[in-house]
Amino acid sequence: MAPYGRSQTIQFAGSLTDGTHWVKHSFFCLAGDTAPTVNGGYAKWSVVDRPQRIGTTVFQGYDPITLTIPILFDAVAYPPIDGQSLEDDIDRLDWMGGRGALYAGTPFAPGVGESPLIAVSTSDASGKPTPLIPLVWQNAGESWVVTDIAYDDGALRDESGARIRQAATVTLLQHIQGPFDTGNDSAATRAKGRNSQANKFSTVTVRAGLSTYQEIATRFAHNPPAAKTIMDANKTVKKLKSIRSVNAKLPAGTKVKVPLSVRQ
């Protein structure tokens, strides 16, 4: 669920692999002042001249869809969010464009290798999908790449210099894999990267704020829908095998396994 109260929110989620490592990040932000816009990718026709006659129209195919999304990072109107958490989300956005400090911690260096594949979705405060971005493009999965991030120059900052309100416009390009693509984002390479995370876990200790599978999925894995997957991964743990609800309280101090594949 998004942290922005009763507002229209946008979630960006991305993943990157080199066939051995699998890196995932996601973040929520607010919708900008204007709606996301599809502004490229429709049918391409050219005109072939014919002397002294009307030219003929020749179908050339399609360009990938281009999607422009105005967004807003805002900690001013939502006090639980602070400047540092906003900067962390902005770092995640830069990572999706193949830049920034987070990207330096991936299998590649900033500006080297293919940038992450991106999924984008819009929802209301309850997490219900909304058609702010056409649903057909939300249901396409990780089918985008970031080609431009234009930050507004009127950002508000706190006393430490961290941004507390930052508008930006993100441009996404539809990712179409070629039939002979053997790059890092080919189907085979990405499958190998996903499989490298299979049966691997991190652990978290049950405590205040991380006392249910749902809280662990949301606050530790940053992936709310993964609560049941985490519960299933712990069904053989003696202290946890009787827990059958993702919202049930877990015994304090218990170590819970979290599959690496669900962490974002």
- Concatenated DSSP letters of 81-127: S-HHHHHHHHHHHHHHTT-HHHHHTSSS-TTSSPPPEEEEEEE-TT-
Q: Is residue 47 predicted with pLDDT exceeding 90? A: yes
Q: Which residues contact 218 (CB under 8 A, 6 or more apart)?
A: 1, 224, 227
pLDDT at 6 over 90: no
pLDDT at residue number 103: 82
pLDDT number for residue 195: 74
Question: Quick check: 181 pLDDT over 90?
Answer: no
User: Is pLDDT larger for residue 130 or for residue 110?
Assistant: 130
Average pLDDT of the chain?
Answer: 86
| pLDDT given for residue 108 in this prediction | 73
Q: What is the mean pLDDT of residues 29-33?
A: 92
Question: Whose CA is closest to 206, among 236, 231, 232?
Answer: 231
Compare 232 and 191 and report the one with higher pLDDT: 232
**In terms of C-beta density within 10 A (0-12 exposed, 13-18 middle, 19 or more buried), how is residue 95 classed?**
buried
Residue range 106-132: mean pLDDT, rounded:
81
pLDDT value of position 72: 95
pTM for this structure? 0.72
More confident: 71 or 107: 71
Question: Can you spell out the DSSP letters for the chain?
Answer: --SSSSS-EEEEEEEEESSS-EEEEEEEEEE-SS--EE-S--EEEEEEEETTEEEEEEEEEEPPPEEEEEEEEESSS-TTS-HHHHHHHHHHHHHHTT-HHHHHTSSS-TTSSPPPEEEEEEE-TT--B-TTS-HHHHTT-S-EEEEEEEE-S--EE-TTS-EEEEEEEEEEEE----TT--STTSHHHHHHHHHTTTT-EEEEE-BTTB-SHHHIIIIISS-GGGHHHHHHHTTTSTTTTT---TTSPPPTT-EEEEEGGG--
Distance CA 194, CA 174 (A): 22
HSE (CB half, 13 Å, CA atoms) of 224?
9
CB 98 within 8 A of CB 104: no
pLDDT of residue 190 exceeding 80, the answer is: no
**Integer Cα distance of 103 and 62 in angstroms:** 31
More confidently predicted of 200 and 222: 200
Share of the chain above pLDDT 70, in %: 92
Residues facing 73 on adjacent strands: 166
